[in-house]
Chain A
Amino acid sequence: DAGVIQSPRHEVTEMGQEVTLRCKPISGHDYLFWYRQTMMRGLELLIYFNNNVPIDDSGMPEDRFSAKMPNASFSTLKIQPSEPRDSAVYFCASRRSGGRDEQYFGPGTRLTVT
């Protein structure tokens, strides 16, 4: 398996622009997670899905952030409008059902908002 795939790997954008991050989970995994990592705040869970349904979005920082999972093999995290404080590395992770299984992380998208 190719693992969790994220695109783009790097994104540089200007403040106010819309940013869309993409994730393809591992086939057969029915949980998908979006995390954000910064030096100041560490690794934060933003939102997670089970069987394409959002379960908990309490970590989404503001209404500027939205996430969708239209099918089992694709998810997006959108920021509109973007701000410099959104600069971070965004990770997607997936796992199978059953609490014993580990989460597998993608390589991340490094977002820089200028």
Chain B
Amino acid sequence: AQSVAQPEDQVNVAEGNPLTVKCTYSVSGNPYLFWYVQYPNRGLQFLLKYITGDNLVKGSYGFEAEFNKSQTSFHLKKPSALVSDSALYFCAVRGLGGTPLVFGKGTRLSVTA
């Protein structure tokens, strides 16, 4: 069975500092990995995905994520955080076939000015 772990319930960062939101996964075969963001009272918005190819994936709003197969991780990163990045972030994985995404519990990012 596939699963995702987001070990931090909350990450606090000062504006302008780099941020990292952690994600590890477990799946049979090659993983398809995704990051989503949820702003208050909104649905989940797609940020980026890793399917194959370069381990560093670039996405929306300046976010990027690094796929590390040996560590089974897919951490979300941004070089310089903005207050507007404050939101709930979800990591998700899909294994073989048309199975639905399996989501982590979510990590709340708080960026302070």
Q: Report A's interface with B, CB cutoff 8 A.
A: 4, 31, 33, 42-43, 45, 48, 50, 56, 91, 93, 97, 99-100, 102-108, 110
Contact = CB atoms under 8 A, between A and B. Distances in A.
A99 B43 contact: no
A106 B45 CA distance: 9
Contacts of B34: 102
Contact of B43 (A31, A97, A100, A105): A105
B45 A105 contact: yes
B100 A33 contact: yes
A7 B22 CA distance: 34
Nearest to B45: A105
Nearest to B103: A43
Contacts of A56: 100
Nearest to B43: A105
B45 A100 contact: no
Query: Dominant SS at the A interface?
Result: strand
Contacts of B44: 43, 91, 93, 105
A42 B103 contact: yes
Interface in B18-66: 32, 34, 36, 41-46, 49, 51
A85 to B, nearest CB: 20
Given A42-B106, A43-B106, A48 B46 contact: no
A74 B74 CA distance: 34
Contacts of B94: 99
Given A99-B32, A99-B94, A100-B32, A106 B43 contact: yes
